[in-house]
Amino acid sequence: MNSISFGIMLPIVPNLIRELAGGDTSSASEWNVLFATSWGVMQLFCGPLLGMLSDRVGRRPVLLISFFGLGLDFLLMAYAPNLWWLLVGRLLNGATASTMSTANAYLADVTPPEKRAKTFGLMGSAFSIGFIVGPMLGGLLGEHSLRLPFIAAAVITFANAIYGLLVLPESLPKARRATRFEWRRANPLGALQLLRSHSDLLPLAGVGFLFQLSQMVLPTIYVLYTTHRYGWSPGMEGAAFLVIGVLGVFVQMVLVGPVVARFGLRNTILLGAASGAACYAWYGGMANGWVFLAGAALQALQGFLMPGLQGLMTRLVRPEEQGQLQGANQSMMGVASIAGPMVFGMVFAWSVRHESSFSTPGLAFYLAAGLMIAALVLAFWKARPPQSN
């Protein structure tokens, strides 16, 4: 349900920013950088804290805090009179947006190690379903008002929070919880200690970081890019996210399990990384919007990477460290969320300003493709099954 709320915003937020920025695409891109960077800063510091907290008090309370925080964020964005109030909403969201990482720790609690990659794939498919329904709903509501989708997202998120409050059981028994809350681990530097505790954890986290960093090109410029280059409307943006979501669900719900069983975790990760590199190169080079959209198939195939990577990493830590691991991963995502929008937003803004001379508006996507090639090389070098270490 939360992924539906996130999906509702995808085709709308950049357009609302552009509207509040006076309609200038280049200025809106720079504001997008500030919004995404601020969100990343909050993730960087709050991700490890909430991960450690979930190891100490359980997953359920942290999930519920996240749900209610997201609902407040959507309400604030629905009624924000200017860009600065919109920014306050994103800061609140960044502080509490541990839903995915805590949910992953929840799944690791209740799933045998050999089945985790498939389970993480199913989680990814549930997230992708949200990106089918959400953007379509957001695009339709956005045709009437750019504020209406945020109200719908708030209603859905609060309903999900109430449902969780009433029926969601705790996954981490008290006997398996951390004995105390350690502040030295509940921060970005402390989170790195866990990643350094095993010779393969840190490089695997590096693969995840490069993946997340390259992914930042999508929320940072996707809507602005397709609007600028292809003239897409909010409705068309919603339809594009619908296509991406359907393909993502198919890959993660139907294909991840059999592919992992047939080819192993390592090759599954490599397939995802190679597909991501090809996807972003495609997005950057296509001059026609319909041909551009065909790259959604490659984007869906990169969904093999994270389930395989999570399946490897969760095998390398103890049960009482699963929350710390997910918090550390969330912190790495926070760093990516700081650096990615700054880099991709500035590159896109520069390429738009110089498009008439020698630049291409797809330059940021080419950069993302390069990052995925680096992830592919690192995974080829370090992604090994635990029993071979």
Interval 194-199 mean pLDDT: 76
Nearest to 338 by CA among 45, 15, 19: 45
Give the DSSP letter of residue 255.
I
pLDDT of residue 358: 60
Per-residue pLDDT reduced to its tens digit, 355-374: 765 668 899 999 999 999 99
Nearest to 69 by CA among 49, 98, 41: 98
Per-residue pLDDT reduced to its tens digit, 211-236: 999 999 998 889 889 988 899 887 78
Given a cut of 50, is residue 388 above it in pLDDT?
A: no
- How far apart CA 21 and CA 220 sit, in angstroms, is 16
Given a cut of 80, is residue 209 above it in pLDDT?
A: yes
Nearest to 309 by CA among 373, 358, 260: 260
Interval 167-176 mean pLDDT: 86
Interval 322-327 mean pLDDT: 78
Instruction: Say how many Å lie between the first and final Cα of the chain, rounded.
Output: 39
**How does 24-33 read in b/e, with b if 16+ C-beta sit within 10 Å?**
ebeebbbbbb
Can you read off the two tokens belonging to residue 275? 């597909």
Nearest to 46 by CA among 316, 364, 351, 333: 333
Interval 240-256 mean pLDDT: 86
Given a cut of 90, is residue 268 above it in pLDDT?
A: yes
Can you read off the two tokens belonging to residue 260? 């992992």
For residues 28 and 21, the answer to whether their CB atoms sit within 8 Å is yes
Interval 165-183 mean pLDDT: 82
pLDDT of residue 239: 83
- Structural domains in the chain, CATH included, are 2-166+190-383 (1.20.1250.20)
- How far apart CA 316 and CA 323 sit, in angstroms, is 13
Confidence (pTM): 0.72
